Amino acid sequence: MRFTRDHEYIDAGGDIATVGISEHAQGQLGDIVFVDLPQVGATFKRGDPAAVVESVKAASDVFAPASGEVVAVNDKLAGSPSLVNEAAQGAGWLFKLKLSNPSELDGLLDADAYAEYLKTID
């Protein structure tokens, strides 16, 4: 699992990767009430806004941590957006990407580097 400085995670298994927001991000947002997911088939470049997570506090863009095509979205979030609060890095995933350039993952933070990064912003 890799992380961005914008608090997205990406978990790649081969050329398909699961994308969501980190546990830290969901904690900062508070109670999530709505998730606007991309369409299957949409393509994104690394850094493009790909989804929106809305909480009682604010709406926050979710950026694509890598380039690729959306091959699946987490349909369970339509009826249960709180899944993101309950398990952001598990059942609360947002979408899956077919990676067009897997080497982009090399520039992202691993779990230890992300934990160190969080210490600098809290």
> Which amino acid appears at position 85 of this protein?
N
Query: How high is the pLDDT of residue 13?
Result: 87
Q: Does the model's pTM come out above 0.85?
A: yes
Break the chain into its structural domains and give their ranges. Answer: 2-121
Domain 2-121 class in CATH: mainly beta
CA distance 42 to 30: 28
Q: Where residue 122 falls among pLDDT bands split at 50, 70, 90?
A: low
SS3 assignment for 31-87: CEEEEECCCCCCEECCCCEEEEEEECCCEEEEECCCCEEEEEECCHHHHCCCHHHHC
